[in-house]
């Protein structure tokens, strides 16, 4: 009798396990069977928005379902990012982000989500470069070494603008100052437009700007690039040295862009997304579109992207701690 009862229990457990496995397999096999949303936690027209729209225009042909871009801006990307972190991990709600995501981990002490632990990395999509620029018609210190010398001679006198506290532009300059032992006055703006206007008007001395924003002004002679934040010189500006070549720091301040899913998203769904995104990034017209914005297409495995997220989070956390920077 006891043996019969044990056998019935084993059969029930086996059937339950098989049902769970069958349900999981069916879900994975059926994915995707509805529209996929790419959440962009910034306003339309940004570099991240461009990436998302390139993906949304091309992924449907590979996935057989619509891919919709939804801009959920606010709080330096935290509103949209948290929405995805809290979304059902079924592969239908994804996040397109820049390295601001991991910077926010140490900048905002009151975050209700973890920018690293609450996501499943899907794929890197591209790298973007920040240029250190000045107004050559106003600022006499037109090289990094001259800037450093001038800043050391009069600490706190030279100014630099950013689109806001805790932005990549801000932390890049903080890293530069920490590496050179200089002190420039931070002038945060609410967005890039006002900062660029004052830089062009000679009211601000220096600024880190994305290539696609700075290039038109550089070509017009209104701004001068004195260093590129990447590890290599840019094809568009071959005479502009890297920060390392300028002798001030061995670290670059490149911005990565990528796609993430909520933690717990099935591995096979993540793998499928990774495969199709990589295929899109190889398309020549996509590369051309990215390059027009100063970005270079770059794919990765989910594991590689995960390593980058953790490494970058630690790097910027150290910069934030040394500079006593907070965005709360």
Residue 143 predicted with pLDDT over 60: yes
Q: What is the mean pLDDT of residues 2-21?
A: 52
Tens digit of each residue's pLDDT (9 = 90 or more) over 62-90: 999 999 999 999 888 999 999 999 999 99
Residue 14 predicted with pLDDT over 90: no
pLDDT > 70: percent of the chain:
91
Cβ burial 99-126 (10 Å sphere, 16+ → b, else e): bbbbbbbbbbeebebebbebbbbbbbbb
Q: Do residues 159 and 185 lie in contact, with contact meaning Cβ atoms separated by under 8 Å?
A: yes
Tens digit of each residue's pLDDT (9 = 90 or more) over 240-285: 999 999 888 767 898 999 999 999 999 999 999 999 999 999 999 9
Residue 1 predicted with pLDDT over 90: no
Tens digit of each residue's pLDDT (9 = 90 or more) over 181-208: 999 999 999 888 999 999 999 999 999 9
Of the pLDDT bands very low, low, confident and very high (cuts 50, 70, 90), residue 141 is confident
Distance CA 302, CA 297 (A): 16
Of the pLDDT bands very low, low, confident and very high (cuts 50, 70, 90), residue 293 is confident
Name the helix (H) or strand (E) containing 187: strand 185-188
Tens digit of each residue's pLDDT (9 = 90 or more) over 219-240: 999 999 999 998 889 888 999 9
**Contacting residues for 15 by C-beta, under 8 A, at least 6 apart:** none
pLDDT at 20: 47
Torsion (CA) 209, 284, 69, 193 in degrees, nearest 10: 20
Tens digit of each residue's pLDDT (9 = 90 or more) over 30-55: 899 999 999 999 989 888 999 999 99
Q: What share of the chain is helix, strand, coil (3-state, %, to 5)?
A: 45, 20, 35
On the 0-12 / 13-18 / 19+ scale of CB atoms within 10 A, 235 is exposed
**Contacting residues for 48 by C-beta, under 8 A, at least 6 apart:** 40, 41, 42, 96, 97, 98, 257
Q: What are phi and psi of 161, to 5 degrees?
A: -105, 155
Residue 296 predicted with pLDDT over 80: yes
Neighbours of 250 (CB within 10 A): 10
pLDDT at 283: 96
Q: Do residues 76 and 100 lie in contact, with contact meaning Cβ atoms separated by under 8 Å?
A: yes
Tens digit of each residue's pLDDT (9 = 90 or more) over 85-102: 999 999 999 999 999 999
Q: Which domains does the chain have, with CATH numbers?
A: 31-127+256-323 (3.40.190.150), 130-228 (3.40.190.10)
Distance CA 116, CA 260 (A): 10
Of the pLDDT bands very low, low, confident and very high (cuts 50, 70, 90), residue 139 is confident
Residue written as token pair 């949303």: 37
Average pLDDT, the chain: 90
pLDDT at 10: 52
Query: Which structure tokens are listed for 18?
Result: 């098989």
Of the pLDDT bands very low, low, confident and very high (cuts 50, 70, 90), residue 146 is very high
Residue written as token pair 């069916």: 26
Query: Which structure tokens are listed for 258?
Result: 């990528």
Distance CA 127, CA 296 (A): 5
pLDDT at 7: 52
pLDDT at 29: 56
């Amino acid at each position: 009798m006891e043996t019969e009862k044990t056998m019935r229990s084993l059969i029930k457990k086996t059937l339950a396990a098989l049902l769970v496995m069958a349900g999981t397999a069916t879900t994975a096999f059926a994915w995707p069977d509805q529209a996929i949303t790419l959440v962009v936690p910034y306003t339309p027209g940004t570099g991240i928005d461009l990436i998302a729209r390139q993906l949304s225009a091309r992924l449907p042909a590979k996935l057989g379902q619509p891919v919709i871009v939804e801009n959920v801006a606010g709080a330096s990307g935290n509103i949209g990012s948290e929405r995805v972190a809290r979304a059902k991990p079924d592969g239908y709600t994804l996040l397109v982000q820049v390295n601001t995501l991991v910077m926010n981990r140490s900048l905002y002490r009151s975050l209700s989500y973890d920018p690293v632990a609450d996501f499943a990395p899907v794929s890197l999509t591209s790298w973007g470069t920040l240029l250190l620029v000045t107004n050559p018609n106003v600022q006499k210190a037109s090289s990094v070494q001259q800037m450093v010398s001038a800043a050391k001679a009069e600490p706190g006198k030279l100014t630099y603008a950013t689109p806001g506290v805790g932005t990549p532009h801000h932390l890049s300059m903080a890293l530069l100052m920490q590496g050179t032992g200089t002190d420039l006055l931070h002038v945060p703006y609410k967005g890039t437009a006002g900062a660029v206007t004052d830089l062009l008007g000679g009211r601000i001395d220096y600024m880190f700007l994305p290539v696609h924003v700075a290039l038109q002004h550089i070509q017009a002679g209104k701004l001068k690039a004195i260093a590129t934040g990447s590890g290599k010189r840019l094809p568009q500006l071959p005479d502009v040295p890297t920060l390392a070549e300028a002798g001030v720091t061995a670290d670059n301040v490149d911005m990565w862009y990528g796609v993430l899913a909520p933690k717990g998203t099935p591995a096979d769904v993540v793998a499928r997304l990774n495969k199709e995104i990589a295929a899109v990034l190889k398309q020549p017209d996509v590369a051309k579109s990215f390059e027009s914005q100063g970005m270079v297409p770059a794919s990765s495995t989910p594991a590689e992207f995960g390593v980058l997220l953790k490494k970058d989070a630690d790097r910027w956390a150290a910069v934030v701690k040394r500079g006593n920077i907070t965005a709360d």
